Chain A
Amino acid sequence: MSILSMTNICKSFGDKVILSNLSLSVNEGETFVILGPSGCGKSVTLRILTGLMQADSGTLSIDGKNMAELSKSQKSVVFRSMGMLFQNAALFDSMSVYENVAYGLRQIGTFKENEIRDTVLKNLSMVGLTSIENLMPSELSGGMKKRVGLARAIATRPRFIFYDEPTTGLDPIRATEIDLLIRKLQNELGATAIVITHDLKSALHVADRVGLHYGGQIQTVANTNDFFKSSDPAIRQFLDGNPIGPITA
């Protein structure tokens, strides 16, 4: 049953068309990977899904509810059930690791300080980090930043988690660690997840289903195994890294 769906979404910046009639449907509890070349509009798609950006036209429905028909406060309830790991983690650099992870909990406003403390430490240990809560983001390596960003995203136990290029900029070993972490969190938390990436190995590690994003749409969707064995020319071009084919810049 589809819990998140986009239908005929269009988005342009000036006369530059980024998304044209993009449609996407994600099932409850699955991890859906959107693969696509850099600059094709993957981040824009996520921004529209999370309410950070408005589509020019098209329908976004979450939990079977058309977002355009909800009131502002109903919308904010839906958007509050989302967590996101940003491409460069987007940690608040004026706050300690602890305060970063506590941030979403504090916004909810009903937790006592000792509950916040327990939750922060528990989530940090879920992403494999201990005794770093007093460090500042500038003192962390790229991989650690992503982990802290992940701990911050999951601290409020969102029903939807979005990952924007979780492995980009990491060495292959750290990248695999993050993939395994995503997989582990998916198993433990059971959230519905969308991962956008251009990292094939990462897709193979974490995806239940994969869609290929190019030409302003998510063109082909398949189960992970079928995707990597597909003979679809666009998929083959992307998997083989061939500059010539249906995917153009």
Chain B
Amino acid sequence: MTLLGLESFIWGLRSGIKIPNLGRCLLSVGVQSLPIVSFTALFTGMVLVVQVGNQFMNLGAENIIGGVVGLSLTREMSPLIVAFVLSARIGSSMAAEIGTMKVTEQIDAMQILGANPVRELVLPRILACMIFTPLLVIYSNAVGIFGGYIVAVYQIGVNPELFFQSLTQMVAPHDFWSGLIKSSGFGFLVAIIGCHKGLQTQGGAKGVGTATTESVVLMITSILVSNYFFSLAFFAWMKWNGYF
């Protein structure tokens, strides 16, 4: 799999990338994921405030609810939501589509016709995922904060101005950026695992099913594990720069 990543990278450098292929992938990664990202982010933002809102009000910490929502979303929740949605929605279909091409000899046909499957299939998918995950995370941040705001203001009775004040005070640019950067890494993981499992597929329809399931399990575990290490690195960086 590392090899596949390397090969895609080399092909990318050597020959540029086919725009129509990339365009099609971008469309499927980005636009088609919007509804489900909206839905998930909205309810995550809402439930965050349900959980912390009442407690914080009782503790007299009304003035930090907005900030807590913003921080959890930008640093952890949005990147994870988007990565999981992408795994289920896009990664699995990559594994299934490429796996089907493999078992129906379409990959072989590509090779015989002089094309390189890694360049034709893998590279555009990796790029599409790496470009679109951060954009989806920005969108998810906005929708999630909106959801949190609704519950905070209309259900718990937080002062709307206080909500925004704490949001802007507590969420620094690096919180926002760290989420975007790691989400791009998650996008890479989703694409490379989906493509790798697809290309490894053997044995007809059953093999495609197995490849799809295995790919999603591997995506989700590797996202969570790498997320842990990314957060460690992020905190080390913050300490280094004297943020706390």
Assess the A103–B105 pair: CB atoms within 8 A: no
Chain A 64-103, CB-CB to B under 8 Å as 1, else 0, gives: 0000000000001001101110111011110000000001
Assess A52 versus B114: contact at CB under 8 Å? Given A90-B105, A90-B106, A93-B106: no
Cβ contact within 8 Å between B108 and A86? yes
Whose C-beta in chain A lies nearest to the C-beta of B105? A90
Quick one: closest A residue to B108, CB to CB?
A52
A80 touches B114 (CB 8 A): yes
When the two chains form their complex, are residues B114 and A92 in contact, meaning their CB atoms are under 8 A apart?
A: no
CA distance in complex: A117, B114 (Å): 19
Contact of A88 among B101, B105, B112, B115 (CB under 8 A): B105
- A51 to B104 Cα, complex, angstroms: 18
Q: What are 21 A-to-B residue pairs whose CB atoms are below 8 Å?
A: A50-B112, A51-B111, A52-B108, A52-B112, A76-B114, A82-B112, A83-B112, A84-B112, A86-B105, A86-B108, A88-B104, A90-B105, A90-B108, A90-B109, A91-B106, A92-B109, A103-B113, A104-B113, A104-B114, A107-B113, A107-B114
A38-76 residues at the B interface, CB under 8 angstroms: 47, 50-52, 76
- In the bound assembly, the distance between CA atoms of A79 and B109 in angstroms comes to 12
Name which of B106, B108, B109 has the most chain A CB atoms within 10 A of its CB.
Answer: B109
CA distance A86 to B111 in the complex (A): 12
Does A11 belong to the interface (CB within 8 Å)? no
Residue ID in chain B nearest A43 by CB atoms: B105
B-side interface residues toward A, CB under 8 Å? 101, 104-106, 108-115
B7 to chain A, nearest CB (A): 13
Chain B residues, Cβ within 8 Å of A92: 101, 106, 109-110
* Other contacts beyond A104-B114, A152-B113, A156-B114: 4, CB < 8 A: A86-B108, A91-B109, A92-B109, A152-B109
Q: How far is the CB of B93 from chain A (nearest CB, A)?
A: 12
Q: How far is the CA of A102 from the CA of B106 in the complex (A)?
A: 15
Interface residues of B: mostly helix, strand, loop or mixed? helix
Within the assembled complex, what's the spacing in Å between the Cα atoms of A152 and B112?
11
A-B residue pairs, 4 tightest by C-beta: A90-B105, A107-B114, A104-B113, A90-B109
Query: B19 → chain A, closest Cβ, in Å?
Result: 13
- Would you call A86 and B114 a contact (CB within 8 A)? no
Q: 0/1 per residue, A18-41, Cβ < 8 Å to B?
A: 000000000000000000000000
Q: Are A103 and B108 in contact (CB under 8 A)?
A: no
| Min CB gap A124→B, angstroms | 16
Enumerate chain A residues within 8 angstroms of B114, measured Cβ to Cβ: 76, 79-80, 104, 107-108, 156
Which B residues are in CB contact (< 8 Å) with A104?
113-114
Within the complex, the shortest CB–CB distance from A110 to chain B, in Å, comes to 12
Write the chain A residue with the least CB distance to B104. A90
Question: By the criterion CB–CB under 8 Å, are B106 and A87 in contact?
Answer: no
Q: In the assembled complex, how far is the CB of residue A108 from the closest CB belonging to chain B, in whole angstroms?
A: 7
Complex Cα–Cα for A80 and B116 (A) = 12
A84 close to B109 (CB less than 8 A) = yes
- On chain A, the residues within 8 Å of B111 by CB distance are 51-52
Please give, as numbers and ranges, the residues of chain A lying within 8 Å of B106 by CB-CB distance: 90-93
CA distance A88 to B114 in the complex (A): 20
- Give the Cβ gap from B147 to chain A, nearest Cβ, in Å: 37
* Max chain A Cβ within 10 angstroms of own Cβ: one of B101, B108, B114: B114
Q: Which residues of B contact A87 (CB under 8 A)?
A: 105
Kindly name the residue among B104, B111, B112 whose own CB sees the greatest number of chain A CB atoms within 10 A: B112
Report B141 CB to chain A, min CB distance, Å.
34
The answer to whether A107 touches B104, judged by C-beta atoms less than 8 angstroms apart, is no
User: Are A79 and B105 interface neighbours, CB within 8 A?
Assistant: no
By a CB distance below 8 angstroms, the chain B residues around A47 are 108
Which of A83, A86, A107 contacts B115 (CB under 8 A)?
A: A107
| A45 CB to nearest B CB, Å | 14
Tell me how far the C-beta of B26 lies from the nearest C-beta in chain A, rounded to whole angstroms.
Answer: 16
B94 to chain A, nearest CB (A): 13
Q: Which residues of B contact A52 (CB under 8 A)?
A: 108, 111-112
> A94 — nearest CB in chain B belongs to which residue?
B97
Within 8 A of B (CB), among A111-156: 152, 156
A37–B138 alpha-carbon span in the complex (Å): 59
* CA A204 to CA B113, docked complex, whole Å: 29
In the assembled complex, the CB of B128 is this many whole angstroms from the nearest CB of chain A, namely 15
Question: Residues of B contacting A82 with CB < 8 Å?
Answer: 112
Contacts of A91 on B, CB cut-off 8 Å? 106, 109
Residues in B whose Cβ lies below 8 Å from that of A88: 104-105
Q: How far is the CA of A88 from the CA of B110 in the complex (A)?
A: 14
> In whole angstroms, how far apart are the Cα atoms of A139 and B42 in the complex?
41
